[in-house]
Amino acid sequence: MLRATEKITALYCRLSVEDTKDEKKNGKEDPSNSIQHQQVMLMQYAKANRLPNPTYFIDDGYSGVTYDRPGFQKMLSEIEAGNVGTVITKDLSRLGRNSALTGLYINYTFPQYDVRYIAVNDHFDTIDPNSTDNDIAGIKNWFNEFFAKDTSRKIRAVNKAKGERGERLTTNIPYGYKANPDNPKEWAVDEEAAKIVKRIFTLCMEGKGPSQIAALLEKEKVLNPTAYKQREGRKTPHQTPENEYRWHESTVAYILEYMEYIGCTVNFKTYTNSIWDKKQRDNPMENRKIFYNTHPAIISLEVFDKVQEIRQQRHRRTATGKSNMFSGLVFCDDCKQKLYYSTTNYFEKRQDFFICSTHRTNKDKCSGHYIRAVVLEQEVWKHIQEVISVVTRYEAYFRSEMEEKLRVQSEETLRIHKKRLAQAEKRIGELDRLFIRSYEDNVSGKIDDERFAMMNKSYTQEQKDLKAEVISLQQVIEEQERQAENLEQFIQRVKRNSELTELTPYALRELVKAVYVEAPDKSSGKRKQKIHISYDLIGFIPVDVLTKAEQA
């Protein structure tokens, strides 16, 4: 430990971004709060009072509600090493705005290491513990904390109001966009980066996962988003990467889930618990605010939605590391569970196949639904070719037949789902009343705390499940009510793929939602298998719609 004459006098200066913003907003910016003014003031005080070895420790742009600040932590390390004799700040608020921790440092940490603490403007000096100014230091610390809380509330209120009316809250322009030169607040498409974004979505539609896409982009020496922005001279919150072509799997996954690429603004994606806990937590989708058509779209809504479906499906790989474009799309026609993609050696020849997941774990629950991958692809491609032929040659007939089929189906589906929706919403209301009644019974002593806690847990879980079901039902109802629009979208997708000569992963993902496989029929001595294809947007296409097209 250093001798008293050798110890340094720590001149601690702090200014937060919130302090500056709040002063500017109220039109009363105080130059005396600046870091430069604090430095001059503290140096003059140290020299006037002959305090030795004055040394600056500075935190410019750091909030006082946390002590995880580089300047403060560096000073604390010097204190714990026994190298500091005195700490000086302009006032108590510069040390911090967390009354509990500020008091802990002043009353415990500093005395423990024989450090004198001075807050100049508050006339606070630990060398004189009986001073009346020292007596009210706790009250001042509380007011400093209250000021921080009040400032935080104001900022949150302003951001909430801006976010509610659709103003974009993020200041970071995402990869694929750039600031509009005519209006810096608006986003314009960055054509070079947008091509990479589109390619990432296309690769996902073709069945590739984030790690495969990242590896491919790195192999092709495509600049990653941070390196690209730095090359273009744009601001980025990330440091310069060691390998400018290294794409991380998480970056690709983030791009694939970023709704702003369809031209919308999404506010309130994250939240923090309090001014003390700055950890960013994901907000549930129902708590976010989405505003559509706020800037040019890079990805169409239907492609984005299709990619989200693909992302939700787990693409099973075989022991050999292989995957199949049908992975996640094939289901058992009986138990409705997925068929696992597998590989086996059959007469010394490797063979890929799909097998019912239920049958694989419990043979008594479901029969052996099994289909070779090559047969599956042949049958699906054959059916898709029939659909393409009918749509391109007899579009009016196909539209008319499917409109009638969808109308009948929609009416029945809507009736069932609206009935269930009404039941779920009614039950949610009943649970609210039951909870209030049980709370009143608990307060009056009719039921004990243990019984109340059990009932409360049960009611809460049931209500949570019902609310999730309500959201799902509302989505189904909305989808059913858009059947005419969905049919037109499907017809356009088919026409886009009318020149196909073979089934591609992209076309499969764009057209097909699920394939259901029946158990093999061995009655004729041959293994005949039937598949049923549920097409995206419109579901199953009746056989007679395809077979009677020529007659119509």
* Those residues with Cβ within 8 angstroms of residue 180's Cβ, 6 or more apart along the chain or in another chain: 186, 187, 188
Span of 228-232, 298-302, 373-377, 455-459 with lowest mean pLDDT = 455-459
Burial class (CB in 10 A: 0-12, 13-18, 19+), 210: buried
Q: Is the pLDDT of residue 217 over 80?
A: yes
Cα–Cα distance between 356 and 154 in angstroms, integer?
57
Helix axes 249-256, 210-219, angle to 10 degrees: 110
- Flag whether pLDDT at 235 surpasses 70: yes
d(CA 400, CA 398): 6
Please report the pLDDT score of residue 133 as a whole number.
Answer: 60
Over the stretch 64-115, which tens digit does the pLDDT of each residue have? 888 889 999 999 999 999 999 999 999 998 998 888 888 889 988 999 999 9
Higher-pLDDT residue of 411 and 451 is: 451
Instruction: Report the DSSP pairing between strands 370-372 and 349-356.
Output: antiparallel
Instruction: Identify the sign of the CA torsion 166, 169, 171, 173.
Output: negative
Convert the pLDDT of each residue in 245-288 to its tens digit. Answer: 999 999 999 999 999 999 998 888 777 766 556 667 777 777 78
Token reading at 534: 């549920």
Phi then psi dihedrals of residue 536, to 5 deg: -60, 140
User: Is the pLDDT at 231 greater than 80, yes or no?
Assistant: yes
194 vs 472, which has greater pLDDT?
194
Strand runs (DSSP E) across 191-308, as ranges? Answer: 265-267, 270-271, 281-282, 289-291
What is the share, in percent, of the chain residues with pLDDT greater than 70?
Answer: 86
The pLDDT score that the predictor gives to residue 257 is: 92
Per-chain mean pLDDT for the chain: 83
**AA identity, residue 34:** S
Percentage of the chain beyond pLDDT 90 is 35
Alpha carbons 98 and 142: distance in angstroms, whole number: 8
Quote the pLDDT of residue 25: 46
Q: Higher model confidence: residue 299 or residue 33? A: 299
pLDDT at 317: 54
pLDDT (tens digit, 9 = 90+) per residue, 54-68?
A: 999 999 988 888 888
Token representation of residue 54: 């004055």
CB contact set of 113 (below 8 Å; sequence gap of 6+): 79, 80, 82, 84
- The rounded distance, in Å, linking the Cα atoms of 477 and 410 is 9
* C-alpha separations of 494 from 21, 293, 378 in Å: 55, 26, 18
State the DSSP code for 240.
Answer: P
- Which range, 68-77, 92-101, 167-176, 414-423, has the best average confidence (pLDDT)? 68-77
Question: Which of these ranges, 204-213, 266-275, 291-300, 385-394, has the smallest mean pLDDT?
Answer: 266-275
Mean pLDDT of 165-182: 87
Side-chain-side CA neighbours of residue 231 (13 Å): 13
Low-confidence winner among 125-129, 158-162, 376-380, 542-546 (lowest mean pLDDT): 158-162
Q: pLDDT tier at 528 (50, 70, 90 boundaries)? A: low
In this prediction, residues 114-140 reach a mean pLDDT of 80
> pLDDT category, 207, cuts 50, 70, 90?
confident
Residue bearing the bigger pLDDT, 222 or 98? 222
